[in-house]
Amino acid sequence: MAHLSPSIAIAVAVGILVTALFLRLLMRRARLLFAFALLLVVGAVLVTKGPTGLRLGTHVGLRTWTPTSVGQIAHQFRFDAGAATLDLRSLHLPPSGSPYRVRSTVGFGQLKVIAPVGESIRVHATVGLGRVAVDGLPEQSGPRATVSEQVPGVVVPGVPTIDLVVAVSVGNLEVSRG
């Protein structure tokens, strides 16, 4: 079975509804169909012209990642829609002169990152439309909400720095220490 992209599926549904709407207009009973067509058009616009980096696929629901080593943070943690948690409390990093980069994105929904206590954390968080909340920093909300700062907290001397790059297209993003 071939994979049908969301934008094509919505375009086909809009085409069918427009045809049905035209036929119903001829019979003067089109109010409800017009409302459905309008919702599909808005959906098509959001999918094709929505926040940058928006991807829809098969990763939907609830997801928790708990990396423990450098090798496990080498790739980007991605989730399409739902609630995702990136728990970094069990991450063991050897001392390094350069920061370790951890990247995660969510299309629609919520991303919660739990950073370890005592680690040096620099966060670069972006939400296309929604809210960014980082412990100890002012909350940002609205279109293109961004926080790019050091996460406040007591840092143990000599520990490596985690460079946290996280984004949510539409939804909420939360970074806390645990």
pLDDT, tens digit, 9 for 90 and up, residues 158-171: 888 999 999 998 88
Q: What is the pTM of this model?
A: 0.69
Section 16-24 average pLDDT: 66
CB-CB contact of 66 with 130 (8 Å): no
The pLDDT tens digits for 47-97 are 554 444 545 455 678 899 999 999 999 989 998 888 999 999 999 888 877
pLDDT at 36 over 70: no
Section 107-126 average pLDDT: 92
* Whole-number Å distance between alpha carbons of 147 and 136: 12
The β-bridge relationship of strands 120-134 and 60-65 is unpaired
pLDDT given at position 108 = 86
pLDDT given at position 114 = 96
- Burial class from Cβ neighbours inside 10 Å (0-12, 13-18, 19+) for residue 43 reads middle
